[in-house]
A and B are shown apart, each in its own frame.
Chain A
Amino acid sequence: MCRIWFRMSQPSDSTGAKGGEQSAEGGSHVSVFLNTHTAALNPETKLFSAFTADTHTSKVYLAGRECLNEEGQTFVLPLVGKLKKQISADPTLCPEYPSSLGLAEFTKRATEFALGKNSLALMENRVFGIQTIGCTGAVRLGAELLKHWYNTRAAWCGPVYLSSPCDDSLASIFEAAGIQDIHYYFYWDAKQRDVCVEKLLADLEQAPEQSVVVLSASAHCPTGADLSEQHWALIIQLMMRRRLFPFILLPVQGLCCGDLQRDAWPVQHCASQGMELLCAQSFSHCFGLYGDGVGNLLCVLKQSSLLSAVQSQADRLVRALWARPSVGGARVVATVLSNPAYLTKWQEEVKHIVERCMLIRERLRERLRLLGSPGCWDHLIKQRGLYCCTGLNGQQVEFLSKRRHVYLLPNGCLNVSAINSSNLDYIAESIHLALTSAL
């Protein structure tokens, strides 16, 4: 609308004649952005705003992304605090531009961390890692790389298959990279309160060749329900037969089961089967480095001869995204991963978090049992990691936020670490009421 107005009152462009709406000092008084509409509020933001505005004294927010401690504060690992101090006092460290692919020591260690030191793919030199800005950065970079993975000339724009449900932001990250063709495969079965691998396989069977399938290695967000080794064997078989490309998310290695190997097993297994894959790793949660945005995009190729070509593509793409990553957090992670004593210490601290989360799940299930809540709550302890899908439906979730001031994600999922001794009883009672109140 306003552009037409500009043209109407603007004489030919090349002379010095001034348009009618312009003053001598300033220019037009109409914004060039008049047509920029307000973006719809992100559901997470909306929910958090509602929570912030809520004045109830017992209000609890269970939909956050950080891992919290017993006091409801973001979990800070003592080792990380100590290392940050050490690093800051180190006179040999230079404030130089890092390479666009990131801190070499970090990407090397992060890559080994996921694949395991003895990975064949590593030894055959067909693996590399790129330091990214958190998990989002890794997914974004991966998406950009995939655009020309199969064909350097034509841009591939999908399809990408995401789990249903999945992290809200995934679809929009792929779209931002120009990949518009997004599909969802069956994952969480609300009735069974578990993953339904038969339906999952049926959906993937329909996927065209060269489709990219985003899978979660462990600690599935937002359900906490993970695929078993048997499930993975079936999925990999199908994917190899149907020539589907795995893009694996590894958001909290070490924080899911407390076992580094186990949490990363799917990545290692795919690689050992000779598959090409991308893996988006995040170190925010398991190192308490939220403010540092430490991520790694792991690339496993079929042949080592392709390595430098793909690396140079990645380099080119990074330069147009953020040029180079920031090094602070990556240094901490590299220091831990390259030092056996620190690695052991870190694993102890992480185990502490894992045990706390498992205990909370147990206690919640127990409270619900004692309250006589209907239904089976075993899925709470079967699930792992930070997230948990309660199985509550939309109405029950709304009841919880509106009547009890307990905020879950709309799909009934919650962040287990936000539950602690002070609020456990209230939360359990609230869930009980949500299940038993006539609505």
Chain B
Amino acid sequence: MTAWLKQTEGKSASLSSYMTDEGRPWVLPVVKKVEKLIVHDDRLNHEYLPILGLPEFRSSASKIALGDDSPAIKEERVGAVQCLGGTGALKIGAEFLRRFYNGNNNTKTPVYVSAPTWENHNAVFANAGFEDVRPYKYWDAEKRGLDLNGFLGDLESCPAHSIFVLHACAHNPTGTDPTQEQWKKIAEVMMRRKLFVFFDSAYQGFASGSLEKDAWAVRYFVSMGFEMFCAQSFSKNFGLYNERVGNLTIVARDGDNLKRILSQMEKIVRTTWSNPPSQGARVVAITLNTPELFSEWKDNVKTMADRVLLMRAQLKAKLQALGTPGTWDHITQQIGMFSFTGLNSQQVEYMVKEKHIYLMASGRINMCGLTTKNIDYVAESIHEAVTKVQ
């Protein structure tokens, strides 16, 4: 038996996407429905989309992140740019910040990304011209949890006006998020030290099954009065991996600032891809703006989140039943697609070579690769790895 618990290029099933219990990618039923509507709609406009993207997509996507009743939206100081997936949103945000934040073209402004973080964060900011991309303490390997003191320490000691890339929920790759109390502490320091908040939100709804819950941190920071960016991806929660649907939500001080910011963002987009692709944005916009479809989508999202939660619970239970040494609470405490098992590199090698279970050298597994068919095998293999290999 083999189990793929990590992303693989070139394999027919790439595993940074969600998989069903049959080990296959899942086209959300609501998405199938909406795609059919779109393809049979003869009145659809076939022109280039505006450079900033489909208006109804941008506004509904921002609403999803900030909440329908967001005071910032009511105060008309929230805007957005439709982008090519979450990466595109980070890219446009980064390019803007390099040009206009902390002076003009200040490439020396430090950009902090969590240690560890999604590997592409570094490349996106570096390529946008930032010369100083550094890690902030995040994962405590000993405790297998958040290194809050280290994190807060970095926030206190970093140069003023530093940019921090925060994971809105379901931290990639550790699956470990700050609690609400911890977020409050983080926000307090960031406000006081005038640090720039750049959220990366790729898993809203997918992490806990609740859109509101997964957006708590973003909304809290908005309520604290931060001017901030939030890069949203709809790849995972809509299963639209191949349509590249992203949104850069901008929370500005006021409408005036927002206008100026958007005018510069438009200029940046014009030299990167000019007009974004319409298909995915249309699917999301129609879904979010149609009550029955929105309901159906929330159910679909919960289905995905619930399966992952079930796999987490079962994996932990099986490891405990096997009497696998160590504590395995972190498997259910962590949230989202990924889990940092705590296996060391030799144990990982054992898993790969002897058991044909493929996971990242860091010990990170993609929970979506677990199914009712392979979970026993995986649990037993982890047990073996931990007991045989030190």
Contact = CB atoms under 8 A, between A and B. Distances in A.
B372 interface: no
Tell which of B13, B47, B156, B276 has the most Cβ of chain A within 10 Å.
Answer: B47
Tell which of A84, A135, A292 has the most Cβ of chain B within 10 Å.
Answer: A292
Tell which of B46, B196, B264, B280 has the most Cβ of chain A within 10 Å.
Answer: B46
B85 A323 contact: yes
B369 interface: no
A33 B240 CA distance: 33
Interface in A1-17: 3, 6, 10, 13-14, 16
A291 B49 contact: yes
Contacts of B227: 31-33
Contact of B270 (A42, A66, A89, A292): A42
A359 B253 CA distance: 54
A136 B272 contact: yes
Given A66-B48, A85-B39, A33 B101 contact: yes
Nearest to A85: B39
Contact of A96 (B17, B126, B259, B267): B17
A291 B242 contact: no
B244 A326 contact: yes
A76 B254 contact: no
A94 interface: yes
Interface string B217-256: 0000000111100000001000111111000000011100
A125 interface: no
Contact of B272 (A16, A28, A176, A316): A176
A33 B235 contact: no
A106 B24 CA distance: 24
Contact of A136 (B36, B226, B271): B271
B273 A33 contact: no
B257 A33 contact: yes
Interface in B357-379: none
B275 A290 contact: yes
Q: Interface size for chain A: under 10, 10 to 19, 20 to 34, or 35 or more residues?
A: 35 or more
B287 interface: no
A291 B25 contact: no
A117 interface: no
A27 interface: yes
Nearest to B83: A322
Contacts of B276: 133, 293
A266 to B, nearest CB: 24
Tell which of B85, B159, B191, B279 has the most Cβ of chain A within 10 Å.
Answer: B279
Interface stretch (A18-26, A360-368, A404-412, A423-431): A18-26
B149 interface: no
B160 interface: yes
A10 B257 contact: no
A322 B244 contact: yes
B223 to A, nearest CB: 8
Contact of B263 (A10, A38, A89): A38
Interface in B61-90: 84-88
B266 interface: yes
Interface stretch (A158-166, A167-175, A229-237, A391-399): A167-175
A30 to B, nearest CB: 7
Tell which of A26, A94, A137, A291 has the most Cβ of chain B within 10 Å.
Answer: A291
Given A13-B160, A38-B259, A291-B49, A27 B224 contact: yes
A36 interface: yes
A36 B261 contact: yes
A162 to B, nearest CB: 14
B390 interface: no
A329 interface: yes
Contacts of B120: 319-320, 323
A97 B279 contact: no
Tell which of A6, A25, A30, A38 has the most Cβ of chain B within 10 Å.
Answer: A38
B127 interface: yes
Interface in A259-300: 284, 288, 290-293
B252 A35 contact: no
B36 A88 contact: yes
Tell which of A26, A95, A290 has the most Cβ of chain B within 10 Å.
Answer: A95
Contact of A84 (B31, B39, B264): B39
A324 B84 CA distance: 8
A292 B279 contact: yes
A95 B275 contact: no
Nearest to B38: A88
Given A18-B192, A96-B241, A140-B272, A31 B47 contact: no
A39 interface: yes
Contacts of B194: 6, 10, 27-28, 32
B85 to A, nearest CB: 6
A191 interface: no
Interface in A325-345: 325-329
Interface string A112-155: 00000000000000000000011111001000000000000000
B192 A26 contact: no
A321 interface: yes
A319 B47 contact: no
B242 A136 contact: no
Given A22-B191, A325-B244, A65 B48 contact: yes
Contacts of B159: 13
Tell which of A39, A135, A317, A323 has the most Cβ of chain B within 10 Å.
Answer: A323
A33 B100 contact: yes
Contacts of A324: 85, 87, 242, 244
29 contacts: A22-B191, A26-B224, A27-B194, A27-B224, A28-B194, A32-B101, A33-B252, A34-B257, A35-B100, A35-B104, A74-B45, A85-B39, A94-B25, A98-B242, A133-B272, A133-B276, A136-B271, A136-B275, A140-B271, A176-B271, A291-B45, A319-B123, A320-B128, A321-B88, A322-B244, A323-B85, A323-B120, A328-B242, A329-B279
User: What 3 pairs across the A-B complex have the smallest Cβ distances?
Assistant: A26-B225, A291-B278, A323-B87
Given A31-B252, A95-B242, A326-B280, 8 more contacts: A33-B252, A39-B264, A84-B39, A95-B31, A140-B271, A290-B275, A322-B85, A323-B88
Interface of B: 9-10, 12-14, 16-17, 24-27, 31, 35-36, 38-40, 45-49, 84-88, 91, 95, 100-104, 120, 123-124, 126-128, 156-157, 159-161, 191-194, 196, 224-227, 235, 239-244, 252-254, 257, 259-261, 263-264, 266-268, 270-280
Interface of A: 3, 6, 10, 13-14, 16, 18-19, 22, 25-39, 42, 65-66, 74, 76, 84-85, 88-89, 94-99, 133-137, 140, 169, 172-173, 175-177, 284, 288, 290-293, 316-317, 319-329
